[in-house]
Amino acid sequence: MTQLTQLLAELQERFGADADAAIGEQALENVRVAYLGRNGEVTKIRRTIGTLPAAERPGAGKAINDAVAAMEERLKAAQAAVESRAVDAELAASIDVTFPAIAPAAGSIHPVRRIIEESCDYFMRHGFAVVVGPEAEPDYYNFDALNIPSDHPSRESFDSFWLTDSVLLRPHTSPMQIRTMQEHRPPIAIVAPGKCFRRDALDARHLFQFHQVEGLLVADDIHFGHLKGMLTGLCRELFGSGQRVRFRPSYFPFTEPSAEVDTTCPKCRGESAEGRCSLCGGSGWIELGGAGMVHPNVLREVGYDPDVYSGWAFGFGVERLGLARYRVDDIRRFISSEPDFLAQLS
Ligand SMILES: [Zn+2]
């Protein structure tokens, strides 16, 4: 019995090694026939049962059957391995490893963010500091301190989303001018980018939530020429060399004198015939925003003497800059989250 057990153990071990070594289905079949076939090794052992004492025969038969069952299990596993290797080989033959891979989708910097960053970079190179602040502000910072008292009609055009009777989502980034001037003495040179909110209905040119980039310079002897120089440089930074800047007289409560700022149409460079250019309508100019010399009342409000200090400020809508820079026909596309659209703009 012990001898039989040892014999079966050895047989199984050899069978296992042969099955593992078999490459391909035919080789494995040969192993099966050699061990488990009609004239195979197991049959030879089974024939020896007759030579055993009668009492040992049932035990010997069971031991052989158990060994056969284990070998058949082992055979199945070996067959599965052979099949899997065959599939792998087939796949390997069908894969062209030199074929260009499908690149994973990568995001890109949002065009609005890019314009803000480039604008800030430009001003930082000229010694300006970037300041950011609250998006909800008391009406004092949004209006009163900017020379817009509560009965002033221009509040209407800046009206926004009121959170309480006295706090509202800021309609412009100008509160940061007041906050900065309250905390520091001149010279002041800041650029303030950020979100703004107005009660505008959505259309191709308006969003109720948008971004502004605003600048303020206050020091001795600051004049309009400095403003024109800095804004011309900014336009060249954002739209390319050769850009020019034009001021049109305007009115804002917080600047005096005030101006609307235009730059040369980046599409037609001002050379389009009347009505031909879809970006500027043939005028040759596109509007960027407002600017002017800081109103003496604003300087007084923060404790600066307007006879000593003067300064300029400007505010541009970032999405409006984007319309011109990227020649986009509808401002709502900037908030549409279309990756294909956004990835084109850089
Ligand atoms: Zn044009």
**Residue 281 structure tokens:** 């309508």
When the pLDDT of each residue in the chain is averaged and rounded to a whole number, the result is 90
| Domain end (from 94, 128, 162) | 94
Gap between the Cα atoms of 28 and 75, Å rounded? 8
User: Residue range 160-165: average pLDDT?
Assistant: 89
Angle at CA 29, nearest 5°, toward 25 and 30?
A: 120
Give the bridge partners for 46, in sequence order: none
**Residue 214 structure tokens:** 């605003």
- Could you tell me how many helices (H) and strands (E) the chain has, helices first? 12, 9
> How many A from CA of 322 to the centre of ligand 1?
15
> How many A from CA of 324 to the centre of ligand 1?
9
> How many A from CA of 327 to the centre of ligand 1?
10
Specify if 99 maps to a domain: no
> How many A from CA of 290 to the centre of ligand 1?
20
Do residues 144 and 235 share a domain? yes
**Residue 12 structure tokens:** 């199984």
In this prediction the pTM is 0.69
Q: Of 309, 98, 325, nearest to 218 (Cα)?
A: 309
Specify if 317 maps to a domain: yes
Give the bridge partners for 245, in sequence order: 263
Do residues 116 and 202 share a domain? yes
Specify if 196 maps to a domain: yes
Do residues 200 and 228 share a domain? yes
Do residues 282 and 168 share a domain? yes
Q: Within the chain, what is the greatest distance between any pair of CA atoms? A: 128
Do residues 70 and 156 share a domain? no
Do residues 124 and 264 share a domain? yes
> How many A from CA of 235 to the centre of ligand 1?
15
> How many A from CA of 250 to the centre of ligand 1?
23
Query: Which tens digits make up the pLDDT trace of 22-44?
Result: 888 888 899 999 999 888 888 98
Q: What is the DSSP track for 111-169? A: HHHHHHHHHHHHHHHTTPEE----SEEEHHHHTGGGT--TT-TTHHHH---BSSSSEEE
Query: Which tens digits make up the pLDDT trace of 261-275?
Result: 999 988 888 776 666
User: Residue range 123-149: average pLDDT?
Assistant: 93
Question: Dihedral of CA 272/275/276/278: which sign?
Answer: positive
Query: Which tens digits make up the pLDDT trace of 289-322?
Result: 999 999 999 999 999 999 999 999 999 999 999 9
> How many A from CA of 263 to the centre of ligand 1?
10
* Domain with 204 in it: 111-344
Specify if 104 maps to a domain: no
